[in-house]
Amino acid sequence: MSWFDTNRSIVRVVILALFIVSMLGPWMFDLINVPAEYECDKPFVRLEGDFCGLPLSGIKFFTWFAGGFFQIIVGLMTGTFTGRSRELIVGFSILPLIPFFTTLPLIWKKETPRLRTINLVTWILALIPTVFIFLETQRSGQVLRLWGPLLYILVAVGALTVEILIQRGKVKEANGA
C-alpha cells in the first residue's frame, strides 16, 4: 500500500486548499485607460503604455463567465442555442471550476473507480483552458503579477499525479501484487 493510498484524503484536502488559493490569486486585469503622465492609484497596477489594471481573482474571472455558461444551458434546454462560438468559449472556460466539485466526494464518500475516473478526467479537461489563459499572461509579460493560473496548473498536475498513483495502487491491490 503506497503512502498516497493511505493518506489520500489528507492529500486531496491539501490539493483543494491550494486550488482555493489559486482561485483567490490574480488571473487577469480589468483595464482602464490612464495616460502615462498620471499615477495609477492602488489597487491598480501600471501596465503597458496608457493602461492601468485592477488584478481580478480567478473567482471573479470565472463568475464573469458563469452567466454565459448558464445561458448556454438554458439555450440548449429551450432549443434556442444557435452554437455561437462566443458562448462555446464561455462554456469551455468554466471547466477549471469542475475539479473542485469532483474532488469533494472523494474526500467525504466511499470512493469508487467511477468517481476516481471522473475526477481524473475533470482535472485533465480543466488544464486545457487554464494553459491557454496562462499562455496569454505569458504573452503579455504578466506571469509574475498574474500567478493564479500558474499555481492552478501546478496544483492540477499535482492532483493528476496523486490520482494516477492512487489508481496504480488500487490496480496492484486488485491484482494481488
DSSP per position, 120-157: HHHHHHHHHHHHHHHHHHHHTT-TTT--HHHHHHHHHH
b (16+ CB within 10 A) / e for 105-120 = ebeeeebeeeebebbb
Amino acid making up residue 105 = P
Which residue shows C-alpha cell 509579460?
141
Alpha-carbon span 28 to 84, nearest angstrom: 24
Per-position pLDDT tens, the chain of length 177: 567 667 888 999 999 999 999 999 998 888 888 888 888 888 888 887 888 888 889 888 777 766 666 666 667 677 665 655 555 556 667 789 899 999 999 988 878 888 989 999 999 999 988 898 888 877 777 767 889 999 999 999 999 999 888 887 765 655 565
**pLDDT at site 48:** 79
What is the torsional sign of CA 135, 136, 138, 142? Answer: negative
Residue span of the structural domain in which 121 resides = 3-175
**Total structural domains in the chain?**
1
Instruction: List all residues 6 or more positions away from 6 whose beta carbon is below 8 Å from its beta carbon.
Output: none
Beta strands of the chain (E only): which ranges?
26-33, 45-46, 51-57
